[in-house]
Amino acid sequence: MSLTQLNIHQFRNIHSARLQFDAGLNLICGENGSGKTSVLEAIYFLGMGRSFRSHLSQRVIQFDANELTLFAELNQPEGNMKLGLRRYRSGDIDVRLQGEKLKRLSELAETLPIQVITPESFSLLFEGPKARRQFIDWGAFHSDHQFHGVWGNVRRILKQRNQLLKQQASQDTLKVWDAELVRYTEAVTEIRSHYVDSLNAVLTGIIDKFLPQVEVKISFTQGWDKKTPYATVLYSQYQRDLAAGHTSSGAHKADLRLRVGNLPVQDALSRGQLKLLVCALRIAQGKLLKQQIDKSSVYLVDDLPSELDSKHRQLLLSQLLETEAQVFVTAIEPTAITDSLHSPPAQMFHMEQGNVTVKDATSL
Domain boundaries, the chain: 120-295
Side-chain-side CA neighbours of residue 2 (13 Å): 14
Binding residues: 30-37
Q: Mean pLDDT, the chain, as a whole number?
A: 91
List for the chain the helix, strand, coil content (%; round to 5): 45, 25, 30
First to last CA, the chain: 28
User: Which residues are annotated as part of the binding site for ATP?
Assistant: 30-37
Per-residue pLDDT reduced to its tens digit, 303-348:
876 767 888 888 899 999 888 899 999 999 888 888 888 888 999 9
Distance, in Å, from the CA atom of 311 to the CA atom of 319, rounded to the nearest integer, reads: 13
Q: b vs e for 69-90, b when ≥16 Cβ sit within 10 Å of the residue's Cβ?
A: bbbbbbeeeeeebebbbebeee
Is the pLDDT confidence value at 55 over 80? no
Give the model's pLDDT for residue 105.
Answer: 84
DSSP string, 170-232: -HHHHHHHHHHHHHHHHHHHHHHHHHHHHHHHHHHHHHHHHSTT--EEEEEE-SS-TTS-HHH
Is the Cβ–Cβ distance between 33 and 17 less than 8 Å?
Answer: no
User: How many CB atoms are closer than 10 A to CB 155?
Assistant: 13
In 3D space, the residue among 356, 354, 355, 357 whose CA is nearest the CA of residue 63 turns out to be: 354
Residue-wise pLDDT for 94-135, tens only, equals 999 999 998 888 888 888 999 999 887 778 888 889 999 999
pLDDT tens per residue across span 17-39: 999 999 999 999 999 999 999 99
CA 83 to chain centre: 19
Q: What is the dihedral of CA 236, 239, 245, 246, to 10 degrees?
A: -10
In whole angstroms, give the CA distance from residue 362 to residue 345.
8
**Inter-helix orientation angle 171-210/271-293, to 10°:** 100
Entry pTM: 0.92
pLDDT level of residue 205 (50, 70, 90 thresholds)? confident
Instruction: Report yes or no: 1 and 323 within 8 Å, Cβ to Cβ.
Output: no
Kindly indicate whether the domain formed by 120-295 is annotated with CATH number 2.60.40.10. Answer: no
Secondary structure of residue 317 in the 3-state scheme: helix
DSSP per-residue codes, 323-346:
TT-EEEEEESSTHHHHTT-SS--S
pLDDT value at 12 more than 80 = yes
- Confidence (pLDDT) at 82: 94
- What is the pLDDT, as a whole number, of residue 57? 74
CA distance 96 to 108: 9
Rounded CA separation 230/248 (Å): 12
Alpha-carbon span 143 to 191, nearest angstrom: 9
Report d(CA 79, CA 39) in Å as an integer. Answer: 24
**Neighbour tally for 305: CB within 10 Å:** 18
Would you give the distance in Å from CA 179 to the centre of its chain? 32
The answer to whether 193 and 251 are in contact (CB under 8 A) is no
